[in-house]
Amino acid sequence: MYTQWKKISAMLSATLMLSASVLTALAQDHNHSNNDSPAQLTLNHGQKWNSDANLRLGMSRIRDALSSEMLSIQSGNTTAEQYQVLSKRIKVQITFMVQNCKLDREADDMLHLILGDIIAGTDNMIGQGNDNARKGAKKIAYALDNYGTYFAHPGWYGVKAP
């Protein structure tokens, strides 16, 4: 029991270290522009925005993390701890993408809109009860669909929302 408590405590500590405010500040600091971000997603003159290898890797890992829990989420059997672990896994990928961003300013602005929805979804997963946690997972699934709609990522497929 003590070992299990230590593991849970370590997960919670790591999750707190990756709080939304830290991620949001990191995302804002990395922004390539001096302008405010656009209010809505748009295509790049009718074409999808270019992506880079780091973005594709991070988004694929987020999709895979959410997909691995989707049956449990859909059936309502996901525990608070599972949502916390999922949230942490996703936030690690957001940090990775932000730290390794090589997008041009306009594509970066569009990505921030998608990442904002993913961050909001992960925030819903922590300490909000299963109904709000499930809504957070749904928000992330929709953000992943938007990513596929607005960014070029060969072979991309999304996640069916819970």
DSSP structure string for 51-111? --HHHHHHHHHHHHHHHHHHHHHHHT---HHHHHHHHHHHHHHHHHHHHT----HHHHHHH
Asked whether 152 and 49 are in contact (CB, 8 A), the reply is yes
Model confidence band, residue 38 (pLDDT cutoffs 50, 70, 90): low
Between 159 and 153, residue with greater pLDDT: 153
Q: What is the pLDDT at residue 162? A: 67
Q: What is the pLDDT at residue 7? A: 42
Q: What DSSP string runs through 94-159?
A: HHHHHHT----HHHHHHHHHHHHHHHHHHHHHSSSHHHHHHHHHHHHHHHHHHHHHHB--TT----
Domain ranges for the chain = 48-155
Which residues on adjacent β-strands are paired with residue 151? 49
Write the pLDDT tens digit of every residue in 54-86.
Answer: 999 999 999 999 999 999 999 999 999 999 999
Whether 29 shows a pLDDT value over 50: the answer reads no
pTM: 0.77
User: How many Å apart are CA 111 and CA 146, to the nearest integer?
Assistant: 10
Whether 30 shows a pLDDT value over 90: the answer reads no
Mean pLDDT, all residues of the chain? 82
Amino acid type, 72: S
Whether 113 shows a pLDDT value over 50: the answer reads yes
Q: What is the pLDDT at residue 109? A: 95
Amino acid type, 155: G
Whether 14 shows a pLDDT value over 60: the answer reads no
Q: What is the pLDDT at residue 35? A: 47
